[in-house]
Chain A
Amino acid sequence: GAVVSQHPSWVICKSGTSVKIECRSLDFQATTMFWYRQFPKQSLMLMATSNEGSKATYEQGVEKDKFLINHASLTLSTLTVTSAHPEDSSFYICSARGRMNSPLHFGNGTRLTVT
């Protein structure tokens, strides 16, 4: 149980275009989903917390107009990287949890390369 599906696994896009990443909890209802960014050989940096039916809470330094998050249902959250630039190239991972303090279940991640 507790499977989180993230799509796509990898994407290459041109500078200036937008990319949407989907995160789905397949067998449980995720009241909260989290979006992380991970640079090579580094830790996970929390970008934003996404609560179903409400606006996402962004971490300091993360541009909410650039990284649009929508959590339309208890099983789906999306992250859209708008007007992507090469410096946005990274590994983006979502995670989901049911109850507060329960473990996080991670998606497989999306490797974004902006050319």
Chain B
Amino acid sequence: GQQVMQIPQYQHVQEGEDFTTYCNSSTTLSNIQWYKQRPGGHPVFLIQLVKSGEVKKQKRLTFQFGEAKKNSSLHITATQTTDVGTYFCAGRGGATNKLIFGTGTLLAVQP
């Protein structure tokens, strides 16, 4: 079945450093969504990408959808302690067209 993997599983950075998480799907995606889950909280929608090669920015966050629509990335510039949490990509595609969540990347930011 469709699988969505993220790397790294865990990243520890100093405040002010940049951070990137990569999302890779085993199948071509019709769209990809990104969510953030704070420790003890629930996932919160960040953004959706639909077009091949699409790049979107939200302040210090840059989201990219690959040309082949099988991978995506989230880059955070100059991390802050408020960025702490687990970032999930979620891709829709494959035979079922279901939204499948990636394995997640836990970001820890040391002040």
Please indicate whether A and B come from the same complex rather than being unrelated chains.
yes
A interface residues, Cβ below 8 angstroms from B:
41-44, 46, 49, 93, 95, 101, 103-109
* Chain A: CB-nearest residue to B46: A103
* Contact call A106/B48, Cβ cutoff below 8 A: no
* Contact call B44/A106, Cβ cutoff below 8 A: yes
* Chain A: CB-nearest residue to B33: A103
Instruction: Contacts A43-B101, A43-B102, A44-B101 given; indicate if A103 touches B45 (C-beta within 8 A).
Output: yes
* Contact call B31/A101, Cβ cutoff below 8 A: yes
Instruction: Contacts A93-B42, A93-B43 given; indicate if A101 touches B92 (C-beta within 8 A).
Output: yes
Q: Which residues of A contact B35 (CB under 8 A)?
A: 104
Q: List the 3 closest A-B pairs by CB distance, nearest first.
A: A103-B45, A106-B42, A44-B101
B111 contacts the other chain (CB 8 A) = no
CA of A89 to CA of B44, assembled, Å: 23
* Contact call A46/B42, Cβ cutoff below 8 A: no
Q: Which residues of A contact B45 (CB under 8 A)?
A: 103-105
Q: Pick from A43, A95, A103: contact of B48, CB below 8 A.
A: A103
CA of A57 to CA of B10, assembled, Å: 33
* Chain A: CB-nearest residue to B9: A41
* Contact call B104/A43, Cβ cutoff below 8 A: yes
B60 contacts the other chain (CB 8 A) = no
B57 contacts the other chain (CB 8 A) = no
